[in-house]
Amino acid sequence: MNPTITRKDFIRYSLIAAAALPASFPAFGGPVKKGLPSNKLSISIFSKNLHWLNYKDMAKLAAKMGFDGIDLTVRPKGHVLPEKVKTDLPLAVEAIRNEGLEVFTMTTDIKAADEKHTIDILKTASALGIKNYRMGWYPYPDDGDPAASIAQFKKQLAALAVLNERYNIHGDYQNHTGLFGGSLWDLWLAIKDLDPKWIGCQFDVRHATVDGAKAWPNGFKLLHKHIGSMPIKDFYWAKENEKWVPRNVSLGEGMVDFKQYFQLLKKYNIIKPISLHYEYPLGGAESGATKLSISEQEVIRYMEADLKTLKSWLA
């Protein structure tokens, strides 16, 4: 599929997307139920951690816990499957907004403009008023030249930027440890010449600390104009079977320097959606399980505690 879309095609796609929406939604995006001050960072819960709940119950719980929104998984094994996005994404968004919450961003597995479901996902999300999405990851080939890989990734990102502009939506590539973008410098090389209005970075300070230790603030300064969203989670290094590995923990129990991180956000006036992730052992919720091995009450207790901690840091 050619990522270059004609104006005629864009109008046709938009009408198709609008036809798939419930009557309660305007053609180009539903009403935002929860207004936030322009200088306030919104906090969403990553819906991967709520895969054990349906749309309505997930939205009710997120609202009860005190979140502003839900970072919705729109990917294989997610809350919304890519092949059902035209019918199911409107239903999920409706359930979320009915509880006074918003979908500030969604998490996808989109890697290229010409993938099978890319246009369906972007056009449906755009019609619903969703303004931001996280992309899938790019692994470096084991035997390839990293410089050549970066050049190829830049082409893929450039094609997506064109598509994002067509649909008025911003795409973020997450810096994930061990993959392209993990070092931050490589991601900057790939996106520095692209319009940050349409393509950028989901800056993950946890992964940046794993791969960059004390160097991550330099990468942050390079990427700050391109940041579109920010996941929050914590970890520390632990020795297991004679190897040092990152162990995920509750907020404030690890080694991520959140004080410095939030100072940088304030310095550069970055007001972008926050997505709170729960990656430590939580009865399967941490890995997107649809059934929990511990009580729902215990899971909720940990989730509320991390949210309380995060809000105290932002106060």
Token couple for 142: 């084991």
The pLDDT score that the predictor gives to residue 39 is 73
| pLDDT tens-digit map of 191-223 | 999 999 999 999 999 999 999 989 999 999 999
The pLDDT score that the predictor gives to residue 5 is 38
Q: What angle do CA 127, 273, 65 make, to 5 degrees?
A: 100
The pLDDT score that the predictor gives to residue 272 is 97
The pLDDT score that the predictor gives to residue 282 is 98
The pLDDT score that the predictor gives to residue 38 is 67
The pLDDT score that the predictor gives to residue 257 is 97
Low-confidence ranges of the chain (pLDDT < 50): 1-32
Measured between alpha carbons, how far is 112 from 118 in angstroms, rounded to an integer?
Answer: 7
The pLDDT score that the predictor gives to residue 7 is 44
The pLDDT score that the predictor gives to residue 25 is 42
Considering the chain, what is the average pLDDT of its residues?
91
Angle between helices 296-314 and 258-267 (to 10 degrees): 50
Domains and their CATH numbers in the chain? 7-314 (3.20.20.150)
Instruction: Write the DSSP string, the chain.
Output: --S---HHHHHHHHHHHHHTS-TTS-TT-----S---TTS--EEEEGGGGTTS-HHHHHHHHHHHT-SEEEEEESTTSSB-GGGHHHHHHHHHHHHHHTT-B---EEE----TTSTTHHHHHHHHHHTT--EEE----PPPTTS-HHHHHHHHHHHHHHHHHHHHHHT-EEEEE--TTSTTTTSHHHHHHHTTS-TTTEEEE--HHHHHHHHTTSHHHHHHHHGGGEEEEEE-EEEEEEETTEEEEEEESTTSSS--HHHHHHHHHHTT----EEE---S-STTGGGT-SS-SS-HHHHHHHHHHHHHHHHHHH-
